[in-house]
Chain A
């Protein structure tokens, strides 16, 4: 069964703090893809990153970094030196090889960054 769990429903931090959003996934497929999306108050989902199951290298993009660990089925997202503009709901999602464009989303983590 496919499943994505984001155990943190809400996180509140003060600007410039680092914050990590957790994502745990379940899949029986050996080839799969993981995503993170950001949904600001405007409602439009913004693509952040895609990672395939064969690439466990961590990735850094500016203040964003992602840690993919197949051994623990986790794909965590860290924001360094958070800013107020990072306030949004963040979704982790899973897509399996034969499922085409079907994304299985976690429930989302609402991040609030206070000045």
Chain B
């Protein structure tokens, strides 16, 4: 089975721009979660989607949004980028929703905001 894929792998954007990151979960997995990883804050939960519905959300401003499609693929969007948004964004998929199943992570998208 193919693992979680994320595109693009690297991205450079300018302050004020917006960005969309994509995640394709493992086949058959219906839950997708997003995390932000920075040296200062570590790994922080952004949101979780299951069956196209957001089930849980972390403490991030409204500039961070996401969605899930009927094929379970997910996208996250960050609008009005700030320098502090530079981070590794990790997507994880799980076969379970509302439960603590193992989450399988993708390789991440490295976003640099200049």
User: Known contacts A42-B107, A45-B90, A50-B100: does B43 contact A91 (CB below 8 Å)?
Assistant: yes
B102 touches A105 (CB 8 A): no
B106 near A44: Cβ-Cβ < 8 Å: yes
Of the A-B pairs whose beta carbons lie under 8 Å apart in the complex, a sample of 21, sorted by A's number, is A37-B105, A42-B107, A43-B108, A44-B105, A45-B90, A46-B105, A47-B102, A47-B104, A50-B102, A52-B100, A95-B100, A97-B100, A100-B48, A100-B55, A100-B56, A101-B101, A105-B35, A105-B43, A106-B42, A107-B42, A108-B43
Determine if B99 and A100 form an interchain contact, defined as CB atoms under 8 angstroms apart.
Answer: yes
Total A-B residue pairs with C-beta atoms closer than 8 Å? 69
> B interface, how many residues as a size bin?
20 to 34
Q: Tell whether A33 is near chain B: CB-to-CB under 8 Å.
A: yes
Chain B residues numbered 77-111 whose CB sits less than 8 Å from any CB in chain A: 88, 90, 92, 94, 96-108
B24 interfacial by beta-carbon distance below 8 Å:
no
Give the interface of A toward B (CB within 8 A): 32-33, 35, 37, 42-47, 50, 52, 91, 93, 95, 97, 99-108
